[in-house]
Amino acid sequence: MFQLNLRQKMFACLTLQLIFFVVLGLTFFKDFKMFHEDITLLIHASKLSNICLEIRRYEKNFIMRHDAKDFHTAVNYVEEAKSYITDIKNDLLIMPQPNHLNNLAAKLKQYKAALEYLKTQCTENTLKYDCDSQKTLRLLGQDLVQISEDLVKLERHRMVDFISNFKTQLLRSVGFLLTLTILTMLFLYINIMLPLKSIEKAAGQVAKGPFTLLPVPVKKDEVSSVIKAFNSMVSELKQHQEQLFEAKKLSAIGTLASGTAHQINNPLNNISTSCQLALSELKEGDCQYVSKMLETIEQETQRAGEIVRGLLEFSRTQTFSMQAVLLKNVVKNAMRLVASEVPPGITLKKDIPDGLTLYLDGQKMVEALLNLLINAIHAIPEPPGTVSITASADENSELASIIIEDTGVGIDKEHVQKIFDPFFTTKNVDQGTGLGLAVVYGIIKKHNGSIRVESVKGQGTRFIITLPYRQNDQLTADRDNNETRVKNA
């Protein structure tokens, strides 16, 4: 099926409006020209009526006084009327000539003949009495007046009809123009304004973090091309943001690695000491003591392995995978990774219900909590201080809350609305990139959750994470299956 693009549709719409205005203008021009001739004829008809009345007046004067001057004046008015009728016929170019003009011209000819006959046939004495010629003249005079009055009435009636028809035509034209304007505005709103609004809204969402693709319309026009270009841009931005987030993650890994080295050094020292003691006791044959040292070595080896395993799991790139996870284990892993970053005088506290199971990506949530914990630690420039993680669930609202709170310096009010924007930071250039909280925001949004901040300058900051909570047998079964799978691995 043939489809017009947006430019062709707009051109067709404007062309239709132009054609309408041209047709309307030509119609009104023709009607006004006709109206002008109607007015002209009405004026002429009124003048003819006045001439006929003057003819009758001098006719009566002539009959009463038999004055030649009255006769000649009446004849002059008759000639004037005949000449005026000829002028009227010549002026009527569009409208049809009324029959009244021909009838009036014939009557004027008869009237003039009757008037001349009356002058020659009737004497002054006979004029004082009614004679046949006098009666004929009077009847013809009455006909002149009647025809002229009928012509005036006809033109008045035609003008009233024209005005009435013009009003109807004008109302129809205005109605059609109004309808066409509304349809044009509706077309522009549906085909241009709505898509632009959706693009504007999506652009605002992109600025805040989530990258949502717009549905591409089936019809192929300029708007669909713009939406395709926008979606392509969003996809590229999403890839670049993931690369930046991965770079932020690698930066965090580098920071954690130095602390992990110190954490591993303690179990390695214990392993070395236990090995030396076990070797020294081998010569004396104290197997029980050697066995105890070997158990210590095994415990310290497992401890070092857990530290390294946690760092490896955090650094490993995985696809986003939702499953039932014990929140307590997620918090434990995050706190173990950040332990090396905690300076003396700052206390880490946690209060997580034992059975609280959430449907989430454990590794991504560890990454989010780790960023929040590192920010909370950095918000306490001078110990002592406290950083705490608490969690609770509301089965009625089916929401779970995770609160990370510190007793640091707090956040300025003008910065609270911007802290989740990418690259926004109040730290020095060598202390932060402004991606940490943007990473957290993106992870929480992927979990269909929300995050907000409450802060009082000089007293501390609270980050409240809200996640969907579904405590049921299926989640428990998923969690048990996942734990079994991990152990078997």
Identify which has the larger pLDDT, 487 or 49.
Answer: 49
| Tokens found for residue 278 | 């076990």
Average confidence (pLDDT) over 20-49: 76
**Which pLDDT band holds residue 391 (cuts at 50, 70, 90)?**
very high
Residue 405 has pLDDT above 90, yes or no: yes
pLDDT for residue 458 is more than 80: yes
Question: Quick check: 256 pLDDT over 60?
Answer: no
Say if residue 476's pLDDT is above 80. Answer: no
pLDDT of 337 over the 90 cut: no
Give residue 462's pLDDT: 92
pLDDT of residue 99: 81
23 burial type by CB count under 10 A (0-12 exposed, 13-18 middle, 19+ buried): exposed
Residue (of 89, 82, 77) closest to 51 by Cα position? 77
Most confident option among 5-14, 27-36, 48-57, 421-430: 48-57
> What does the alpha-carbon distance between residue 455 and residue 459 come to, in Å, rounded to a whole number?
8
The percentage of residues in the chain with a pLDDT greater than 70, rounded to a whole number, is: 71
pLDDT at 308 over 70: no
What fold characterizes domain 209-317?
Answer: Helix Hairpins (1.10.287)
And the tokens for 38? 């109607």
Share of the chain above pLDDT 90, in %: 6
Instruction: Give the homologous superfamily in CATH for domain 318-489.
Output: Histidine kinase-like ATPase, C-terminal domain (3.30.565.10)
pLDDT higher than 70, residue 107 = yes
pLDDT at 429: 44
Does the pLDDT at position 426 exceed 90? no
Q: What local confidence, expressed as pLDDT, does residue 25 receive?
A: 77
Residue pair 85/101 in contact (Cβ under 8 Å)? The answer is: yes
Pairing assessment for the beta strands 399-406 and 357-360 based on DSSP bridges: unpaired
Three-state secondary structure of the chain: CCCCCHHHHHHHHHHHHHHHHHHHHHHHHHHHHHHHHHHHHHHHHHHHHHHHHHHHHHHHHHHHHCCHHHHHHHHHHHHHHHHHHHHHHHHCCCCCCCHHHHHHHHHHHHHHHHHHHHHHHCCHHHHCCCCHHHHHHHHHHHHHHHHHHHHHHHHHHHHHHHHHHHHHHHHHHHHHHHHHHHHHHHHHHHHHHHHHHHHHHHHHHHHHCCCCCCCCCCCCCHHHHHHHHHHHHHHHHHHHHHHHHHHHHHHHHHHHHHHHHHHHHHHHHHHHHHHHHHHHHHCCCCHHHHHHHHHHHHHHHHHHHHHHHHHHHHHCCCCCCCEEEEHHHHHHHHHHHHHHHCCCCEEEEEECCCCCEEEECHHHHHHHHHHHHHHHHHCCCCCCEEEEEEEEEECCCCEEEEEEEECCCCCCHHHHCCCCCCCCCCCCCCCCCCCHHHHHHHHHHHCCCEEEEEEECCCEEEEEEEEECCCCHHHHHHHHHHHHHHHHC
pLDDT score, position 261: 58
Q: Which amino acid is at 406?
A: D
Nearest to 277 by CA among 261, 300, 304, 303: 300
Average pLDDT of the chain? 76
Q: Give pLDDT, residue 474.
A: 47
Question: Residue range 353-372: average pLDDT?
Answer: 87
CATH for 6-191, among 3.40.1280.10, 3.40.50.280, 3.40.50.300, 1.20.120.1730?
A: 1.20.120.1730
Residue 54 has pLDDT above 80, yes or no: yes
Average pLDDT over residues 211-229: 70
pLDDT at residue 487 in the model: 46
Q: Tokens for 55?
A: 């003819």
With a cut of 80, say whether residue 376 has pLDDT above it.
Answer: yes
Average pLDDT over residues 273-280: 73
Q: What is the mean pLDDT of residues 62-76?
A: 84
What residue spans define the domains of the chain?
6-191, 209-317, 318-489
* Residue-wise pLDDT tens digits, 130-189: 567 788 888 888 888 888 888 888 878 877 887 788 788 778 878 888 887 888 788 778
Average pLDDT of the segment spanning 225-235? 76
Q: Are 98 and 38 in contact (CB under 8 A)?
A: no
Name the token pair of 288. 């029980």
Highest average pLDDT, of 133-137, 153-157, 255-259, 398-402, comes from 398-402
Quick: pLDDT tens for 414-423.
777 777 766 5
The CA distance from 292 to 259, in Å, is: 29
Higher pLDDT, 240 or 46: 46
As given in the structure block, the two tokens for residue 322 are 């939702």
Which has the higher per-residue pLDDT, 25 or 428? 25
Query: What pLDDT, on the 0 to 100 scale, is given for residue 390?
Result: 93
Predicted local confidence at residue 260, as pLDDT: 57
For residues 131 and 71, give the distance between their C-alpha atoms in angstroms, rounded to a whole number.
17
Higher pLDDT, 97 or 170: 170
